[in-house]
Amino acid sequence: MKHKNLINGKWVDAKSGKTFVDRNPADTDDVVGEFPASGPADVDAAVAAAKAAFDGWRRTPAPKRAQVVYRAGEILRERKAEIARDMTREMGKVLKETNGDVQEGIDTAYHHAAEGRRLFGFTTPSELPNKWAMTVRQPVGVAGIITPWNFPLAIPTWKIFPALVAGNTVVFKPASDTPKSGHTLVEILVEAGAPAGVVNIVHGGGADVGTPIVKHADTRVVSFTGSVETGRELNSIAGGMLKRTCCELGGKNAIIAMDDADLDLLLDGVLWGAFGTTGQRCTATSRLIVHRKIHDEFLGRLLARVKKLRLGNGLDPKTHVGPVVNAGRIEAIQRYVDIGRKEGTLLCGGAAVTDGDLKKGHFYAPTVFDGVKPSARIAKEEIFGPVLTVLECASLVDGIRIANDVEFGLSSSIYTRDITAAFRAIEDLETGIVYVNAPTIGAEAHLPFGGWKSTGNGHREGAHTIYDVFTEWKTVYVDYSGTLQRAQIDNIEAPKSRK
C-alpha cells in the first residue's frame, strides 16, 4: 500500500515524487508499505503549516486540546491488536511486546489527557503589599519530533501527546525503518479531531528530513530519541540557534547480582533484560555484573536457558527472540562480537542465523561473553543487539563502581535480599532509573524517563516533567496598590539598634 505525508490536513506525495519501501525484517519478501522519500522542501511546507496553525491551537483551551489526545487513546485501544500485528511485521519484536508498545501509547494518552486539566503553574506571596504573583505555562511553538524504530508507536506518543496538550503544533518524522506505525498514529490523531496543520508527518531519512527539521528557523523545540552520535550533532545545531532540545540517547545498562540474590528471579530478569526486543532497547541489560561467589553456578543456569531461546518471526507465538531491524544492525553487532572475541570468552551465539525459515530475515543468535574486564569495549560501548557481557565483582562497592564506569547513565538494577545493599545502590548508581530485583528495561507513563551523562541532555520524558520541554514559563505580577511600588529597590527597613 502506498502512503503519503500529511501536511496542513492533506495527504500528499513527496515533492520529489520519490518513495521507499518498508519491509518485514523477519521476511524481507514481505512489503509492509511504500512511503514518501521526502526532502527539505516537504519539511518547509510542513513547518509552514504548523506555524500557521499554532495561534489557533494555542488559544484552544487545554482541556479541549486534551480531548483530542483522549480520543486518540480510545481509538488506539479499539485497534490495539491490529496495530500490534502491523508493528511486529514492521520491526520484528514478538506480539506480546508490540501489544505492550501500543498499550504504552494508550496509557500515555490517558495520562496526558488528564494533564490538560492541570498544567500547573504556581502562586506565591509578593514581597510588596497589594501585589499578586503567579506563574503560568505557555506553549513553545512548532515542535519537531524525531523518533526511533524500536518503539515506533510508544515513543512518538511520549512526545506528541504532551506537545499537543501543551498547545504546540507538530512536525513528525518517524524512523524510516518503521514508518507504518508512526503513520497510523497520525491517522488516528486526525480521526480524533486534530485540526489541519496541528499535526504533520513527513517521511524520509535523517539527512533529508530530520536535519532540516532541526535546522529550520521556525521549529522552536526539537525532541529526539536515537544514537549518541546523532544526538550530539542535533544538540549542537539546535543549541547554536538557541533552540530548546530534548535528547534521549543511548545506554549501557547493568544488572548487579549480589551473592544473596534469588537466582531463579535473577535468571528470568537477565533473560528478559538482555534478549527482550532482541536487545534493541536503550534500557536493555547489556552488562551482568555478578558476584564471584555465585558466578559459576548462575552462569551455568543462564547458558542452559539462553540456548533454548527460539528465534523466529514475532507473529509466531512460539518465538522468544525476533529479528534485528535491518541488515545494517547485523553488521554492527557482528563488528562488536568480533571485538569481543579478543576481549573475553564467547560462550554462545556470536553469529547471524540464516537457516531454514530464518534465511529471508535479519536474525542474530543470542550471545553471551564471559571473563570481560570493565575496560573492554564490549563492556563500555552500546551494541544494541542480543549481546550480554558478563563481568565479576567482589563486593557491592566493586559492583557499583563497575556499573558507573561507563559514559552512559540510563538504567541500572540490583538483585539482593539485603535492604541496606539495595538502598546503597539506589543512592550511588549514576542512572536516571534504578530497579531493585527487576531487570533494567521498562517504563511507566506517569514516571519520568531519562538518564545521566551521555544518555541525554538532562530532560525527562513521561510524567508531568515532559512539560518542562514543551512549555515556556511566564511569571505574572498584578499590582493593585494604585501607587508606584519599586521592585528590586531597597525597600526593607534596616533593623533598629538594640541599645
Sign of torsion over alpha carbons 131, 132, 134, 136: negative
Contact 66, 42 (CB under 8 A): no
Contact 70, 109 (CB under 8 A): yes
| Nearest alpha carbon to residue 271 among 312, 299, 313 | 299
State how beta strands 253-257 and 411-415 pair.
Answer: parallel
Beta-bridged to residue 31, according to DSSP, are: 23
| CB-neighbour burial class of residue 120 (10 A; exposed 0-12, middle 13-18, buried 19+) | exposed
Contact 25, 323 (CB under 8 A): yes
Question: Cell for 164?
Answer: 499537543
Distances (CA, A) of 231 to 118, 323, 453, 469: 31, 25, 13, 16
C-alpha 368/C-alpha 347 separation (Å) is 6
End-to-end CA distance of the chain: 90
Longest dimension (CA), the chain: 98
Among candidate residues 90, 104, 248, 392, the one labeled active-site is: 248
C-alpha 178/C-alpha 91 separation (Å) is 6
Edge-to-edge strands, sheet with 131-139: 123-125, 131-139, 471-479
Q: Is 444 a catalytic residue?
A: no
The percent of the chain in helix, strand and coil, each rounded to the nearest 5, is 40, 25, 35
Sign of torsion over alpha carbons 168, 49, 9, 149: negative
Please report the DSSP string for 151-196 in residue order: STTHHHHHHHHHHHHTT-EEEEE--TTSHHHHHHHHHHHHHTTPPT
C-alpha 456/C-alpha 409 separation (Å) is 9
Q: Is 282 a catalytic residue?
A: yes
Kindly report the CA angle at 21 between 15 and 23, in degrees rounded to 5? 155
Among candidate residues 104, 282, 343, 392, the one labeled active-site is: 282
C-alpha 180/C-alpha 53 separation (Å) is 25
| Nearest alpha carbon to residue 181 among 150, 215, 209, 212 | 150
Would you name the residues annotated as active-site residues? 248, 282
